[in-house]
């Protein structure tokens, strides 16, 4: 857990005050049914250096371990845990205005994922999978302005690049992962926020679960998280 305040300037310029661990856990407990699911999606539009998203990942990795245990066994199967852990990390999204926060947030998430990966997968560890997870984090944790929905430069000014989020799925029951890119603006336009929140107190990030609203995507790619490749950056 990092300090709650880095400097007075950052507090006055960007409202940067990090949430303490106790409050993070109390708030996440309110949506425990989602934090304890491997594939539920979370987006934090002012994620700072990751106090909420790192705790969400810890909870999801616990769920991933349980899901990877075969019936009548006690230990998770390494390759099944690997898959579940990739699903878990790929379901967490964040935006922050400050680039140093974004980099720290990605690194904290990677380190938490990697510690569990090493502990459980041992002899099955794949450098390619680590590389794939770093790539997923580079796309999911974005340096941008969550109000204008645009990426920002090092001075926190909007660039001409819209924020784009990728939906990640593992559609073939193997190690291939599908990425579909959507602009944040399109996701917000397609989201039936009021209706979602009335029904579930949450908003769907990509396609509406009832199939009524399907935002149009920009491009799609498939890659194998156990093979070295260019990911279609």
Binding interface with ligand SAM (CB under 6 A): 14-19, 44, 46-48, 51-52, 95-98, 101, 145-147
Of 155 and 230, CB closest to ligand SAM: 155
C-beta nearest to ligand SAM: residue: 48
What 8-state DSSP symbol labels residue 124?
A: G
Query: Nearest to residue 86, comparing CAs of 66, 51, 114, 106?
Result: 114
Of 99 and 114, CB closest to ligand SAM: 99
Answer yes or no: are the C-beta atoms of 141 and 106 closer than 8 Å.
yes
Q: How far apart are CA 94 and CA 59, in angstroms?
A: 17
Q: Is 89 exposed, middle or buried (0-12, 13-18, 19+ CB in 10 A)?
A: buried
Report in angstroms how near the CB of residue 104 gets to ligand SAM at its nearest.
10
Of 16 and 82, CB closest to ligand SAM: 16
Report in angstroms how near the CB of residue 66 gets to ligand SAM at its nearest.
27
Q: How far apart are CA 70 and CA 162, in angstroms?
A: 43
Answer yes or no: are the C-beta atoms of 14 and 6 closer than 8 Å.
no
Answer yes or no: are the C-beta atoms of 80 and 132 closer than 8 Å.
no
Report in angstroms how near the CB of residue 125 gets to ligand SAM at its nearest.
31
Q: How far apart are CA 155 and CA 138, in angstroms?
A: 20
Of 97 and 109, CB closest to ligand SAM: 97
Of 15 and 171, CB closest to ligand SAM: 15
Report in angstroms how near the CB of residue 149 gets to ligand SAM at its nearest.
9
Report in angstroms how near the CB of residue 46 gets to ligand SAM at its nearest.
3
User: In this structure, what are the phi and psi dihedrals at residue 92, rounded to the nearest 5 degrees?
Assistant: -115, 130
Report in angstroms how near the CB of residue 11 gets to ligand SAM at its nearest.
8
Of 15 and 71, CB closest to ligand SAM: 15
What 8-state DSSP symbol labels residue 144?
A: E
């Amino acid at each position: 857990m990092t300090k709650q305040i880095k400097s007075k300037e950052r507090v006055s310029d960007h409202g940067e005050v990090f949430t303490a661990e106790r409050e993070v856990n109390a708030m996440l407990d309110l949506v425990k049914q989602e934090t304890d699911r491997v594939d539920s999606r979370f987006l934090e539009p002012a994620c700072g250096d990751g106090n909420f998203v790192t705790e969400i990942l810890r909870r999801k990795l616990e769920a991933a371990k349980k899901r990877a245990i075969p019936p009548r066994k006690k230990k998770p199967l390494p390759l099944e845990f690997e898959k579940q852990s990739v699903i878990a990390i790929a379901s967490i999204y964040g935006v922050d205005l400050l680039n140093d926060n974004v980099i720290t947030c990605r690194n904290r998430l990677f380190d938490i994922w990697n510690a569990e990966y090493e502990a459980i997968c041992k002899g099955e560890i794949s450098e390619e999978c680590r590389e794939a997870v770093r790539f997923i984090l580079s796309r999911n944790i974005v340096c941008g302005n969550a109000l204008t929905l645009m990426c920002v430069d090092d001075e926190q000014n909007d660039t001409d690049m819209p924020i784009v989020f990728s939906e990640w799925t593992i559609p073939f029951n193997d190690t291939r992962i599908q990425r579909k890119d959507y602009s944040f603006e399109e996701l917000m336009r397609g989201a039936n926020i009021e209706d979602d929140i009335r029904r579930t107190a949450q908003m769907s990030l990509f396609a509406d679960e009832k199939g009524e609203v399907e935002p149009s995507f920009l491009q799609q790619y498939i890659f194998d998280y156990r093979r070295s490749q260019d990911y279609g950056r």
